[in-house]
Amino acid sequence: MKLIITKHNLGLWAANHISARIHQAEKNPFVLGLPTGGTAEDMYAALSSLVQNKKLSFQNVVTFNMDEYVGLAPEHDQSYHYFMNHHLFSHVDAPAENIHILNGQAEDLTAECAAYEEKIKQKGGIDLFLGGVGQNGHLAFNEPGSAFDSRTRAVQLTQNTIEANSRFFNNDVRSVPTQALSVGIGTILDAKELLFLANGPKKAQAVAQLSKGEITPQWPITALKTHANAIMLVDEEAAGLLEGKAKEDLLRQQQENPDGDWILTL
Ligand code: GLP
């Protein structure tokens, strides 16, 4: 995998990457896996403006979101349905039938998850899966300990994640759902390409795990190292706890090319 550290806006970087992939796509439609979270907001703003400026279209794009809280109605302003509509889908030309988000209110959550995996398969698999990272290294809602071959399922959120996400629920830990539906790590790793983003000092510990070498379910982020075509894109703060050779490589590149993106192969 590549760890890319950039000074540039992560969202703009990611939106340009996504746009290039959609334009290059030989097959029609292009299948995108999408995240929610604060880190993704700039990326959705940049994608929306590309579409509004007629530089990009979602007409031939199919999307699958990575997760949703259990029990929140789509109209709830902290549901991921609401987030996606607010930040992306109300601004772009994606046909409604091309948009897929797990239903956290389904009566049979197991059947909902199985049907989701089936739909991804029917669309030919995910071409590019975008994601963020939790402070504890989670991917989607695959909390520490999740198996690398896990599939879409109902999961229990850890206290760490509930506390981190309470900032979106008026800092009231009790109103954060304790369960979610989430694609599995296996579902993510099946995608042809991965682009995950992390910014700020709170993500630095998780990002540092990538350079420490050990690949372990205790740090779901390290699953990215098992993928042949994965990029972790971070800002300088999120790269702040790199150690050893990764840190030396970064410092050397920063001296040689102060304005560039700095690329570490891990
Ligand atoms: C939630 C989501 C994750 C996301 C994480 C980070 O827990 N389920 O998919 O990566 O938040 O969010 P943020 O970007 O707000 O830090």
Give the per-residue pLDDT at 89. Answer: 98
100 φ/ψ angles, rounded to the nearest 5 degrees: -125, 125
pLDDT at 219: 98
pTM of the model: 0.97
Instruction: Give me the architecture of the 2-265 domain, per CATH.
Output: 3-Layer(aba) Sandwich (3.40)
**pLDDT averaged per 10 residues, the chain (length 266):** 97 98 87 97 98 97 98 95 98 98 98 98 97 96 97 96 93 96 98 98 97 92 98 98 96 95 97
Q: Is the peptide bond before 35 cis (omega within 30 degrees of 0)?
A: no
The predicted pLDDT at position 209 comes to: 97
**Cα 264 to ligand 1 centre (Å):** 24
Q: Ligand 1, from 34, 36, 168: best to mutate by most atoms within 8 Å of Cβ?
A: 36
Report pLDDT for 260: 86
Predicted local confidence at residue 129, as pLDDT: 98
Which residues are within 8 A (CB) of 73 and not within 5 positions of it... i.e. 6 or more apart?
79, 105
Inter-residue contact 48 to 88 (CB < 8 Å)? yes
Cα 175 to ligand 1 centroid, rounded to whole Å: 17
Residue 85 DSSP one-character state = I
pLDDT for 28: 79
Domain layout of the chain by residue ranges: 2-265
Q: For ligand 1, what atom is nearest to the CA of residue 157?
A: 7
pLDDT of residue 27: 66
